[in-house]
Structure 1
């Protein structure tokens, strides 16, 4: 009934649209709202918005029997607002039911594993709240005995109060994850192109090995890594670097879902060995062989599929799924690209503070730069807290060991 499609412009800009099937006509209100209020956002954010609007349109049609656009233009937005609790329940429970009555205490429903996380649920509600508030301001034309301005203010206040009542309280404790050195080295050995345990086809082994090493050495996000071009691996004064750029509207981008970039541009040093291996990959293996010859590519992205097209997010995620099935088949470790970014942060912070005797605040500032965070970001504090807790436990363990050793009352002969 509704699908999200990407509209691509000659400038490289990508605009995700909510469309009606089967004729693929765009839903009018999300289109206008996106162009007027959200067009400056990243394509991945706009696609997320469009997906949330899709759920809203589907629910309105199933629950009220109306197309949302027609309902708003008829001045009946209050029908949606009056049932927003039902919509919230439907959204939270995985879009499987909209009936609240008789569901309280339902054991089978409570055991569902696809309930939205509170943070995600609150974020989705906030997106819909902004959209409904905008629609009330712009399109409220229903008959009313009070002035339109008062009617709009009353409806906006009702939207605000209804949504505030649905927000889930409490926050999850942020857990700093990451691989230990043993698991990291074990994965590097398995993924070496000549390893007999390597789970990938030969023409993908070098590429995946380099991707894993880049994650471990530079800690980029997956979108940043997939956006890397051949000109972003540079040598300067016998030092080697990878340059992570922000390219939101790239005319050479052809992927259906472009990789997102949400951090600041930066340049990060890498090892000479990694630099040389990437250079060799670019010159030899990046371009697929066709008719016995290396084909010419129409883009500069470093990491490519077997056909020579830019590597997609889904292909990268699939590669990590294969890695996990091979190296962590007896473990609960959820191997994914961001886990390697966590590992990079842990290793850098530990090395900077322990090995080089650097100050915590200085190490935090450096990590902000390397990870592309804003100067006032609180993210380094998570890794500092992990290091502090580790050191505190080591010191406490040493303290209690000495205390028990000196305790004469523990002598069983007394």
Structure 2
């Protein structure tokens, strides 16, 4: 942020949890509406998620201050001629809707001018279209929160049906304004369609196909003393003694993500003692828990998404064997308790950035050895690879197995998936996977019907 900007981002600790808020330099207090948003939505969330939203909101507040010479809070809490505070949230939301294009130009051209609209025709962008989409998406979520808060009987004289109609109207208009300002993005590459005319549009699920997973396993499989895996992207290291350690560590990462649906933060919080043997001696469970100690040296320590993320997950015997081999022979003995360590001499725990680089290197290997999966010009649809795609894949396959192999009804399957994946009782995610399964089953049935009709026609033609 420029030093002259009225609003800036401030980090603080709340019950030993790092978070961020938009602060007003004039009053030296947090801006009111972002503070309410943080209290209602963000205090239990990871610092990276909160900061992503607060950066967008802070930019909006500085844009509004620059253009209107008053804060957005002052627009919501207007004063009458006698100085009494009036609540005018709907007026502020309507004004925000009309200013979306101006805000897009403001952040697109370096936050220098508040009067640059999207129609100016300038092309000196300082941020990518993917970053712009993230900024507008976070800001839209903030506005929809304000709509939920202020379109209610407490602040309006509307009945419940009128409130719902008004809320749906605002939500639709804000989402439309975001799409109009930024343009739709492709699901995988996050490149704007309007900026990539002439390239094929790729529409697909975020989960990985069987062919893609098979290729990932082939590339990630470690080399052995008898057989070198030439597809593995981690063939070289300044310290040759670290090659086997890095390969097995990364293979363990892939298996934990794909077999158990862990989030990246949950993976990086695992400790060596997170593997717990059953008292019966017939297996092991993985304890996904938060970390309350003081030994995490990472600048941005990972955190669980919510309290529902804490759970026990049974591990397959081959994954237990891989875990124990890594811990006992390759991990070393660093001073911290975390399972995954980097390959430097300090043996620090694996950071979020370093973990993401694993998937960048893995994707480069896929693109080199399996171009038919990655390159759109020859039919590939895997345009990027990130750790959360393994969670989508795991959830899709697990829900299908619960229904088809365990004979669970949909409600029981959703409850089991919710427990295994660490979702809250009110999370809509299990329902989304149920809907995806229904759609896939319907498409499979339709393909079988068409194939059956084709065979009937062939038989009739042969007679």
Distance verdict in 2 for CA 1:342–1:57, change over 3 Å: same
1:186 shift after superposition: 2.3
1:274 shift after superposition: 1.2
Flag structure 2 segments of 5+ consecutive residues without an equivalent. Answer: 156-166, 188-202, 224-228, 238-242, 375-380
1:323-360 superposed Cα distances (whole Å, 9 cap, x missing partner): 11111353141211111001111222233333444434
Instruction: Give the match's secondary structure for 2:175.
Output: coil
Which residue of structure 1 aligns with residue 399 of structure 2? Answer: 349
1:196 shift after superposition: 2.4
1:130 shift after superposition: 9.2
Distance verdict in 2 for CA 1:267–1:166, change over 3 Å: same
Which of 17, 31, 39 pairs up with 1:29?
Answer: 31
Which residue of structure 1 aligns with residue 360 of structure 2? Answer: 321
Mapping for residues 233-382 of structure 1, pairs under 5 Å? 233-236=275-278, 237-247=281-291, 251-263=294-306, 264=308, 265-287=310-332, 294=333, 296-297=334-335, 299-305=336-342, 306=344, 307-328=346-367, 330=371, 331=374, 332-333=381-382, 334-382=384-432
Distance verdict in 2 for CA 1:397–1:126, change over 3 Å: closer
Which residue of structure 2 aligns with residue 231 of structure 1? Answer: 273
Distance verdict in 2 for CA 1:242–1:92, change over 3 Å: farther
Between 1 and 2, higher relative CO (CA 8 Å, sep ≥ 6) is seen in 1
Which residue of structure 2 aligns with residue 103 of structure 1? Answer: 119
- Distance (whole Å) between structure 1 residues aligned to residue 137 and residue 42 of structure 2: 24
1:133-167 superposed Cα distances (whole Å, 9 cap, x missing partner): 8xxxxxxxxxxxxxxx9xxxxxxxxxx9x977951
- Distance (whole Å) between structure 1 residues aligned to residue 347 and residue 436 of structure 2: 42
- Distance (whole Å) between structure 2 residues aligned to residue 94 and residue 286 of structure 1: 48
Which of 257, 282, 301 pairs up with 1:215?
Answer: 257
Distance verdict in 2 for CA 1:51–1:379, change over 3 Å: same
1:269-305 superposed Cα distances (whole Å, 9 cap, x missing partner): 1112211221232233334xxxxxx5x41x3221122
Instruction: Give the match's secondary structure for 1:274.
Output: helix
| Alignment check: 8 A CA contact 1:13 1:251 kept | no
Instruction: Give the match's secondary structure for 1:276.
Output: helix
Report how many residues are paired: 374
1:9-32 superposed Cα distances (whole Å, 9 cap, x missing partner): 8x63323355799xxx97643697
Structure 1 range deviating more: 224-233 or 276-285: 276-285
1:92-113 superposed Cα distances (whole Å, 9 cap, x missing partner): 4682264366828x6979xx94
Distance verdict in 2 for CA 1:67–1:204, change over 3 Å: farther
Distance verdict in 2 for CA 1:254–1:185, change over 3 Å: same
- Distance (whole Å) between structure 1 residues aligned to residue 172 and residue 214 of structure 2: 49
Which residue of structure 1 aligns with residue 452 of structure 2? Answer: 402
Distance verdict in 2 for CA 1:33–1:382, change over 3 Å: closer
| Alignment check: 8 A CA contact 2:37 2:142 kept | no
1:57 shift after superposition: 4.0
Instruction: Give the match's secondary structure for 2:108.
Output: coil
- Distance (whole Å) between structure 1 residues aligned to residue 282 and residue 75 of structure 2: 65
Which of 41, 47, 68 pairs up with 2:44?
Answer: 41
Which residue of structure 2 aligns with residue 155 of structure 1? Answer: none
1:19-56 superposed Cα distances (whole Å, 9 cap, x missing partner): 799xxx97643697688767743243532343234213
Which of 20, 29, 37 pairs up with 1:16?
Answer: 20
1:208-242 superposed Cα distances (whole Å, 9 cap, x missing partner): 11111100111011111111122211111321211
Distance verdict in 2 for CA 1:261–1:399, change over 3 Å: same
State the TM-score, normalizing by the size of structure 1.
0.71
Which residue of structure 2 aligns with residue 153 of structure 1? Answer: none
State the TM-score, normalizing by the size of structure 2.
0.65
Instruction: Give the match's secondary structure for 2:385.
Output: coil
Which residue of structure 2 aligns with residue 387 of structure 1? Answer: 437
| Alignment check: 8 A CA contact 1:3 1:18 kept | yes
Matched, 1:116 2:137: no
1:257 shift after superposition: 2.5
- Distance (whole Å) between structure 1 residues aligned to residue 172 and residue 445 of structure 2: 46
Distance verdict in 2 for CA 1:7–1:250, change over 3 Å: farther
CA RMSD of aligned residues (A): 4.6
- Distance (whole Å) between structure 2 residues aligned to residue 386 and residue 73 of structure 1: 44
- Distance (whole Å) between structure 1 residues aligned to residue 417 and residue 173 of structure 2: 37
| Alignment check: 8 A CA contact 1:92 1:116 kept | no
